[in-house]
Amino acid sequence: MGQRRLIVLMNSYTKGISGGDVCLIELVKRMNAYQALVITSGLGKKLCEENGLKAEYLLTTNESRFKCVIGNNILSIINSFFLQL
């Protein structure tokens, strides 16, 4: 039997870092029995990697800088429907 998969949804990340973001990253880093798949934005992936989270990533948007909360969240939600898990 292979390693079990942990699917992590961090789909509404925009900019900055909150306590919830730190907790999520640190919890996933410590769950060594699982192979992590993080569903997030391009900025969310960058944040996770900068904080040492080694995982597989599925990107809902691939922005390089933050633009608009509402537009970003709507685009992330729509793109999430078409992800191949």
pLDDT band, very low/low/confident/very high, at 45 (cuts 50, 70, 90) = very high
Q: Is the pLDDT of residue 52 over 90?
A: yes
**Model pLDDT, residue 77:** 73
At 22-38, the pLDDT tens digits run 999 999 999 988 999 99
Average of per-residue pLDDT across 5-12: 85
**Model pLDDT, residue 48:** 94
Angle at 79 between CA 24 and CA 46, to 5 degrees: 40
Q: Is the pLDDT of residue 50 over 90?
A: yes
Specify the amino acid at residue 70. I
Q: Is 30 exposed, middle or buried (0-12, 13-18, 19+ CB in 10 A)?
A: exposed
Across the chain, where does the E strand assignment appear?
Answer: 4-10, 34-40, 56-59
Q: Is 6 exposed, middle or buried (0-12, 13-18, 19+ CB in 10 A)?
A: middle
